[in-house]
Structure 1
């Protein structure tokens, strides 16, 4: 009798596991308004899965193979707090062009659910097309949205902008202007006074993130702008560390429940958008990027 009871318990456990998302595997994604695709409205994009080796990007069919995305329960987070829950269904996906998979692979939101929305008032999450009406929100399955490192926004002072200037010039490179809207460009010898801060964040230990760019001018040249006019993000402690161009912080959270906050950024570039995940020590963990043509 005890043996039969044990078998019944195991059978029930297996059934429950099959009903759960990937049998307890931690998944990280975003609730978003897909860029350059008005038909999709709001959808969920599954970005990363946690494995023993770390976070795995789900940006290809081969990488996503074995991850059960059919029915998932997600927790929606913002600023270290749970702001809602949502269920998704996998509509399936097929394409003769593998490069379109990370761009077009989306999960449908189950009907009759309340979808939280946070307006992108400052147009911070612009991509190849335009900024969405509402900003992306982090969603987690079998994980956490708490933020033990307590990242919060602050206004960077001019002295902090000056501290990252040397690193900015090294990575952003030269810039040109076209005085009087002429067809002839000249080198713009910019200084730290020509930089502006787009965003700043600091954590409880005093670490700071700052995103800066050259201030917009009326004498810019036509065509794709130099990288110096794009945003560039730095980690500032006792020294300045360059994180990358085109990054906008989506949120910070302890997504794999390891007691530390990872940081998820939106990335917008030339014919390329996506998301980049950094660990709590601001080392790049994984990215999920796509192109439009």
Structure 2
């Protein structure tokens, strides 16, 4: 994190970064750094951005691991429950239409409400006979995501030119312009959600046995699945509301962790959170420095990384099957 704060269009020595942060939060133990614009860049521009990036990466990776276990689908990610596409719709609506009922917080609030509305519609369509069947949930999620994305694209195409770039950049994900007021709620939700999911990791392991196997162990599968999916939707809504739509992290990181440590969710969940935080931290650094002084949307870089990863994963699976 110290390195990530120091790197950017204006590079700052890592020792100076540590000194600036240390003096701000431990003034009695750390001597003040030389005065100048570096302190403003570190404390007001990059540090909140880095903290938000770690939270977003951890939240996306944890939710991906949980959804893949709950739905027993290796391709499960936030788009399958409609939350990401709903958040994009809410944010683009604020950017293009200009509705700002909550002032400076209108965009993240609209994105969160859009995520929750899309997820509620998915749950309504998938909840046949009071249960949430994984296949119905996935099909409903794909349909709702396609519907909301179609409306979002229509709004972008019919908007004035000055709003198109902002809307498109938001839908591809990014952490530019992050301020301290933006990070409190997402960090709190991600920390609480990750700890709660980790506490349920033993039950997630039981779901691998299938509904009959999990029921024989005394689990109420339908209730557990519903609670876990709702928890995922809340975390994703809080994360996507401030970062935009960042793909592949929730899909890629849990698979990489399982390749390294196996399928036990007691290890997969915390390591997915850590790996996702580190990955998104350095993806954000790449977004800042590869096209300086302009930024590359984070979703572009994660897609470039994620597609070759899954091709390699498929080749590995094919070799195992051939053997």
Task: Provide the TM-score with structure 2 as the length reference.
Answer: 0.23
Bigger helix fraction? 2
Bigger strand fraction? 1
Task: Provide the TM-score with structure 1 as the length reference.
Answer: 0.24
Using CA pairs below 8 Å that are at least 6 residues apart, which structure has the higher relative contact order? 2
